[in-house]
Amino acid sequence: MSTSGHIDQAAAFLRERVPAPPDLAIVLGSGLGGFADALQDPVTVKSHDIPHYPRSTVEGHKGELVFGTLGTKRILAVRGRVHYYESGSLDTVLFPVRILAALGTRTLVITNAAGGVNRTFVPGDLMVLSDQLNLTGMGLPATAPKERGTADYYDPVLRKLALSTAERLGLRVVAGSYAGVKGPSYETTAEVEMVHRLGGDAVGMSTVMETAMAVALGMSVLGISCITNKATGTSPAKLDHAEVTEVANRVKEHFSLLLREIILSI
C-alpha cells in the first residue's frame, strides 16, 4: 500500500534529478510513448530506480519518466503506466498521479489506446475526452482528497483548445465519452452494447481512476484516446494487443503533432 511517506520519498528522488518543476505532465498510453522523443534537453529516469514506483509490464509501456522542454514549457512525460489488472492495487495505479501532484503539476494530459464503441469511429481516430464512465466498480481510496464538486472531469477550456487545434492542423479528431473497465480481457459483444447504451463512445482499461485522482488533487485534465480498433461486435475482426500497438504506431506522427501544438498553445 502506498503511503504519503512513499510519495514524499519518490518526489524527493525526482527533484534531485530535475532542474525545475514541470509546467505540464503527460501520461502516454499504449504505443504512444514516442512523443517523449520530441522533448528537448531530456532527462530520463527509469521508473525502477524511483523509490516505491510501480513497474509496468505491458508491451508498449516503456517504464520511464522523461523530463524535457517544448518551447518554453517544462514537460514531464510518463512513458509507461501501470494498469489495475497488472497489480490488483488501486494505490499502485494512482501512485504516478500522486507524484505528479507532489512535484507541483497543475495541468495533466492523459492519453490511452481505446476500442471504438461509437459506430462512426474508425481505427486511427483521435478522440478528445468530453466525459467518462467509470465501470471499474471502484472509487477513490479513503486516503484521497475529497473530490471537487464539478460537472467536468475534463477541463472544457483544454477540450476546446484541443478541438480547435486539430481543426487548424487539418487532423481528424472526434469527441466522446470514455468508458473505463478493469480488464485485462477484451469486452464481449453484449458488454460493448451496454457501454454504447450507457453513452460510451470508446472503452479501455485505464484513465478513469487516474483522472478522478488528478481532479481531486486540483489538476486540470485533458484526455485524448487513440482509437486503435473497433470494439467487439462492431467489427468481424478478432482483437489482440498487437493491433493496438500497430495502429498507435501508425498514427503517432499525427498524435505527436497534435500534442505538440496543444501544449505550445496552453
Cα of first residue to Cα of last residue in the chain, in angstroms, is: 35
- Whether 246 is catalytic is no
- Whether 30 is catalytic is yes
How far apart CA 257 and CA 169 sit, in angstroms, is 9
- Whether 178 is catalytic is no
| Grid cell of 61 as nine digits | 509501456
- Whether 83 is catalytic is yes
- Residue of 6, 134, 138, 241 marked active site: 241
- Whether 4 is catalytic is no
- Whether 89 is catalytic is no
- Whether 206 is catalytic is yes
- Whether 186 is catalytic is no
| Grid cell of 174 as nine digits | 472526434
Q: How many residues does the chain have?
A: 266
- Residue of 11, 61, 77, 112 marked active site: 61
- Residue of 102, 113, 202, 248 marked active site: 113
How far apart CA 125 and CA 103 sit, in angstroms, is 32
- Residue of 25, 36, 86, 220 marked active site: 86
- Residue of 229, 231, 248, 254 marked active site: 229
- Residue of 6, 52, 85, 249 marked active site: 85
- Whether 86 is catalytic is yes
- Residue of 56, 118, 130, 206 marked active site: 206
- Tell how strand 64-70 and strand 126-134 pair up: unpaired
- Residue of 11, 83, 154, 254 marked active site: 83
- Residue of 205, 213, 214, 248 marked active site: 205
Q: What is the CA radius of gyration of the chain?
A: 17
The label of the residue with cell 489495475 reads 84
Residues carrying an active site annotation? 30, 61, 83, 85-86, 113, 205-206, 229, 241
